[in-house]
Amino acid sequence: MKTIIEPFRIKTVEPICMTTAEERAVILKEAHYNLFALSAEDVLIDLLTDSGTGAMSSEQWAAAMRGDESYAGSASWERFEASVKTVFGFGYVIPTHQGRAAERILFACLCQPGDVVPNNTHFDTTRANIEYRGAEAVDLVIPEGKQPEAIHPFKGNMDTGALKALIKEKGAENIPLIMLTITNNSMGGQPVSMANIREVASIARKHDIPLYFDACRFAENAYFIKLREEGYAGKSVREIALEMFSHADGCTMSAKKDGLANIGGFLCTNDELLAQQEKNLLILTEGFPTYGGLAGRDLDAIAVGLEEVLHEDYLEYRLASTRYLGEHITREGVPIVQPPGGHAIYIDARAMLPHIPPAQYPGQALACELYLEAGIRSVEIGSVMFGKTDPETGEEIPAEMELVRLAIPRRVYTQSHVDYVVEAIIAVFERRNDIRGMRITQQAPYLRHFTARFERA
């Protein structure tokens, strides 16, 4: 059969609240054109993020019921630890309430002020936690990774020439760890190849620098390797994932992504001494090392999620449904970051709306139109999120790209939902020349995209 179907049946349904275009016009105005300010009930299809928004399986709900809420040494912890060790292969596992807590603990143990941490592309919480320690976060993705239209099978790869040059310039002693984000979320959910992982690992080993993965979407990355890299077609995703992790010294993980859970995360390492330091910090702010801020039922749900995410029928559906959205809008001429990544489609708003200058936020304008057209919530990843003010001129320096991200929650929406999204995007694309830019009327000094207010320019 050629048709790829959702590899599940639906046992519980959650009604979507329908709205009319007239109602949405009022709602959006009242939210000051900021989609973060919407009540989720006023959203028909919510593509704001794939983080913690997935649907749990019947086995995960059954596991949650088995959750053992003992403070220390619960059976849930034992199942969780066994699952993480089996799938990831690291010696020590430290549970946390989500990914950024794992990052904070790792960098608190490893980074000193003045240190430099290279990554293909730092996710924003990763960057913030490194900078909070007074260290510098450097992005070294290959040049293709920064060009929306460039086609490359592994656009998440690290530029190993640039990595070697950085080590030479800064000195290995000032680089406490090297990171690879798999898949590379901030640059379109693009995968990293096994060959690149191997090369980065050998550079790291040569200089005695530990290599860590930001492993949030490790299963999607492993499946891309199976599909695209020579020599991996016949291997299971589980084997590929273990091979990936065998090159690293540890990882940070948000279970809200490829843990198929609504909350949770963890930190892994092979270093016994480091694990002890990390556990000491964990006790201070997260919880005892056998729960780390999570309920026993969360640990159990994650233990099952990490197994389910490796099912290849699930991964085939997952990548196919993201690709389906990307291909159907590309066919109509909508410019997107190519090729479609694992968890999201990114529309290139600068290319789609060339008449709106970056200073009038084409991404924000497009995100608002998708809501008005069909009740779809997306997120601007452009100058609203990353624009900086020039300290001398006071003028705004635009972001490198003006993107709108449509992130696909796991196992939540069906193909007809995606067809509806495709229709809406095409309708907005057809009237693109009439779309006006936006201006900010109120903003916070940091992370303004969450709370800024807008009006039409």
Ligand X SMILES: *Cc1c(COP(=O)(O)O)cnc(C)c1O
**CA angle (68, 9, 20) in 5-degree steps:** 105
Q: Does 410 bind ligand X (CB under 6 A)?
A: no
Is residue 196 near ligand X by the rule CB under 6 A?
A: no
CA 276 to chain centre: 28
Residue (79 or 104) nearer to ligand X, CB: 104
- Is 254 an interacting residue with respect to ligand X (CB under 6 A)? yes
83, 126, 193, 338: residue in contact with ligand X (rule CB under 6 A): 126
- Cβ-count burial of 266 within 10 angstroms (0-12 exposed, 13-18 middle, 19+ buried)? buried
Does 258 interact with ligand X (rule: CB under 6 A)?
Answer: no
**What element of type H or E holds 396?**
strand 396-397
- CA 256 to chain centroid, in Å, comes to 9
Residue 405 touching ligand X (CB under 6 A): no
Residues 213-232 that bind ligand X (CB under 6 A): 214, 216
Residue from 185, 193, 269, 383 in contact with ligand X (CB under 6 A):
185
Of the chain, the end-to-end C-alpha distance in Å amounts to 50
181 belongs to the binding site for ligand X (CB under 6 A): yes
- Which residue among 19, 34, 51, 338 contacts ligand X (CB under 6 A)? 51
User: Could you give the 3-state DSSP secondary structure of residue 418?
Assistant: helix
The smaller minimum CB distance to ligand X, of residues 76 and 126, is found at 126
How many residues make up the chain in this entry? 457
Q: How far is the CB of 334 from ligand X (least distance, A)?
A: 24
Q: Which stretch binds ligand X (CB under 6 A): 135-143, 252-260, 278-286, 349-357?
A: 252-260
DSSP string, 337-377: -SS--SSEEEEEHHHH-TTS-GGG-HHHHHHHHHHHHH-EE
Q: Does 99 bind ligand X (CB under 6 A)?
A: yes
Our CB check for ligand X shows the closer of 181 and 269 to be 181
- Spatial CA neighbour of 245 closest among 219, 263, 227, 265: 219
Q: Which is nearer to ligand X, 254 or 290 (CB)?
A: 254
Quick count: other Cβ atoms within 10 Å of Cβ 284? 10
Inter-residue contact 363 to 405 (CB < 8 Å):
no
119: enclosing H helix or E strand: strand 116-119
179 binds ligand X, rule: CB under 6 A = no
Tell the smallest beta-carbon distance from residue 69 to ligand X (Å): 22
Binding footprint of ligand X, residue count (CB under 6 A): 15
From candidates 226, 256, 350, 377, binder to ligand X by CB under 6 A: 256
For ligand X, which stretch binds (CB under 6 A), given 86-94, 120-128, 272-280, 349-357? 120-128
- Concatenated DSSP letters for 250-262? EEEEETTSTT-SS
Q: Which residues bind ligand X (CB under 6 A)?
A: 51, 98-100, 123, 125-126, 181, 185, 214, 216, 254, 256-257, 265
